[in-house]
Amino acid sequence: MQKNYKKSFLLEQNLIHLFKEKKSELFGNCHPKVALSRQQAFDDFQAKGLPTTKEESWKNTNLSKQYEDIFQLDNPLTELDKSAGEIFQCDIHGFDTDVISMLNGWYYSPEGKQLQILENGIVVGSILEAQKAYPEYFDSYFDEIAKGRNHGLTAVNKALFRDGIFIYVPDGVEVEKSIQLINIVNRDEKMMINSRNLIILGKNSKLSFLHCDDSVNHNPGFINTLTEIYIGENACLDLYKLQNINNETALLNNTFIKQELNSRSKVNVISLNGGIIRNELNVEFSGEGADADLNGIYLMDHEQHIDNQVFVNHAVPNCNSSELFKGVLDDSASGVFNGYIYVARDAQNTNAFQRNNNILMKSTAKIDTQPFLEIYADDVKCSHGATVGQLDEEALFYMMQRGISRQDAYLLLMYAFTAEVTGKISIEALQSNIEDMIKKRLRGELAICEKCVLHCGHPDIPLEFEIDMSKV
């Protein structure tokens, strides 16, 4: 009935048309569960349409400009793209990673290996290849977490995704080197990219995964990513998301995590730049004794918009979750934080904490924060807090008294504000790199670099504040 009131967007029509046109290609050769998920999602999309500000959870994030834009929706990988991929490299000083990349929405390996088996049986590669090579994992895990949890854009992703990453860590394997996914968009046309990732951690395994979203040029784009992560018993996941895309691009990052008995997850979402960024993080505990530590930083300016939606479902007893999201909004930037903790009946002994702190720098910046709790069990400790404020004038004054310029004092305080989150990054080299990037970002020096964002933190020249130490 609601559908009648809704006008149909150009993008909506184009997406429906694309699905019908490419149906045989999308369904050809795919795992039955993938096919089922595509069809169900498409039906759902036709019923729901693209999410608009009339929907409660999209009230503060407006994508209508994107909805009326013409995007290149189907982008087969060309040789030209590949040559751009060749020059793309990434190197974090003092931090050795296994790099995998997505290029314009396709898994790309310079060696041409679409699926690799690393030491200890770790499988890394394209989701398209994986569904053929490992149908048994798709039987048990694909779409198990994200099933039915759709808004219009997740449905678009499920119906139309072309490629994505697949990672499988076998039972008992601790992956020593972090795996880094670099998601690059480099095309002259405007593109909409739908990619879908599946990550499986077996029992007692361990993985640290770095997910970087970068844009290489300044073309407008629409990136819509869906990631399902299954964390087995006693397994441990470190997930870092680094987002540094151009001001014309909308990035939608939808992550579903399911945690089994005594598993642990640690998520850090670092949003440095982007036209519109929406991160949806869904964590569900399905085994007791699990623990989730979810953190985020966002530093937005100009007309940028950031939207963090964090949903934690305490479905079983004895789990802990903690959320800490901090942000600085400058110029005409706008921010949204929507935290939702759900404690099911009988999920006793739950500890759930949630905090969102914001600093507004200018009168044109704004923030909407909604830290929600819905609790149906009584033996719980839940708390949430949200603040909006400014930097402490007295602290500024104190520093200026001691010879630190107002500008530096400002930066120092903002840096200290974010340090609470960056301090939680457990890989030291990564932590110092991210801290450097934040310093650069705060100084306005961080541009979208030609290569990976992490490359631009020149490790040899340490970034320091200009403080006249003699006066301190």
Partner 1 sequence: MAKDKQNKNGVLEEVTSSEYKYGFVTDIETETAPMGLNEDIVRFISAKKNEPEWLLEFRLIAFRHWLTLDEPNWALIDYPPINFQNIIYYAAPKKKKELESLDEVDPELLDTFNKLGISLEEQKMLSGVAVDVVMDSVSVKTTFQDTLAKHGIIFCSFSEAVQNHPDLVKKYMGSIVPYKDNYYAALNSAVFSDGSFCFIPKGVRCPIELSTYFRINAANTGQFERTLIVAEAGSYVSYLEGCTAPQRDENQLHAAIVEILVMDDAEVKYSTVQNWYPGNKNGKGGVYNFVTKRGLCQGRNSKISWTQVETGSAITWKYPSCILKGDNSIGEFYSVAVTNNYQQADTGTKMIHIGKNTKSTIISKGISAGKSNNSYRGLVRVSKNADNARNFSQCDSLLLGDQCGAHTFPYIKTANPTAIVEHEATTSKISEDQLFYCQQRGIDSEKAIGLIVNGYAKEVLKQLPMEFAVEAQKLLAITLEGSVG
Q: Provide the binding-site residues for partner 1, judged by CB under 8 A.
A: 56, 345-346, 348, 358, 360-363, 365-390
In the complex, what is the shortest distance from the CB of residue 270 to partner 1, in angstroms, rounded to a whole number?
23
Please choose, from the candidates 225, 294, 304, the residue with its C-alpha nearest in 3D space to the C-alpha of residue 259: 294
Q: Pick the closer one to partner 1 by CB: 239 or 312.
A: 312
In the complex, what is the shortest distance from the CB of residue 6 to partner 1, in angstroms, rounded to a whole number?
16
> Beta-strand (E) ranges in 188-275?
191-201, 206-215, 221-231, 236-244, 249-259, 264-273
Q: Pick the closer one to partner 1 by CB: 127 or 333.
A: 333
Please state, in angstroms and rounded to a whole number, the distance separating the CA atoms of residues 306 and 323: 17
How long, in residues, is the chain? Answer: 472
Q: Pick the closer one to partner 1 by CB: 106 or 340.
A: 340
Per the structure block, which two tokens stand in for 106? 């396709």
**Terminal Cα-to-Cα distance of the chain (whole angstroms):** 67
Please state, in angstroms and rounded to a whole number, the distance separating the CA atoms of residues 101 and 103: 6
In the complex, what is the shortest distance from the CB of residue 388 to partner 1, in angstroms, rounded to a whole number?
4
Distances (CA, A) of 286 to 36, 142, 280, 327: 24, 16, 19, 31
Q: Pick the closer one to partner 1 by CB: 366 or 424.
A: 366
Q: State residue 186 phi and psi, 5-degree precision.
A: -145, 95
Q: Pick the closer one to partner 1 by CB: 367 or 454.
A: 367
In the complex, what is the shortest distance from the CB of residue 348 to partner 1, in angstroms, rounded to a whole number?
7
Q: Pick the closer one to partner 1 by CB: 249 or 304.
A: 304
In the complex, what is the shortest distance from the CB of residue 183 to partner 1, in angstroms, rounded to a whole number?
32
432 CB-near residues (< 8 Å, 6+ apart): 94
Q: Pick the closer one to partner 1 by CB: 177 or 384.
A: 384
Q: At what angle do helices 406-422 and 393-401 cross, to 10 degrees?
A: 120
Please state, in angstroms and rounded to a whole number, the distance separating the CA atoms of residues 188 and 10: 21
Please state, in angstroms and rounded to a whole number, the distance separating the CA atoms of residues 455 and 246: 17
Angle, CA of 291, 292 and 293, to the nearest 5°: 125
403 CB-near residues (< 8 Å, 6+ apart): 467, 468, 470, 471, 472
In the complex, what is the shortest distance from the CB of residue 293 to partner 1, in angstroms, rounded to a whole number?
20
In the complex, what is the shortest distance from the CB of residue 384 to partner 1, in angstroms, rounded to a whole number?
5
Q: Pick the closer one to partner 1 by CB: 367 or 427.
A: 367
Please state, in angstroms and rounded to a whole number, the distance separating the CA atoms of residues 306 and 245: 12
Single-letter code of the amino acid located at 26 = L
Cross-strand pairs, 322: 293, 353
In the complex, what is the shortest distance from the CB of residue 356 to partner 1, in angstroms, rounded to a whole number?
9
Cross-strand pairs, 108: 101
In the complex, what is the shortest distance from the CB of residue 344 to partner 1, in angstroms, rounded to a whole number?
10
- The Cβ of residue 379 has, within 10 Å, a number of other Cβ atoms equal to 10
In the complex, what is the shortest distance from the CB of residue 221 to partner 1, in angstroms, rounded to a whole number?
29
Q: Pick the closer one to partner 1 by CB: 77 or 377.
A: 377
Q: Pick the closer one to partner 1 by CB: 11 or 380.
A: 380
Gyration radius of the chain's alpha carbons: 22
Per the structure block, which two tokens stand in for 132? 């053929």
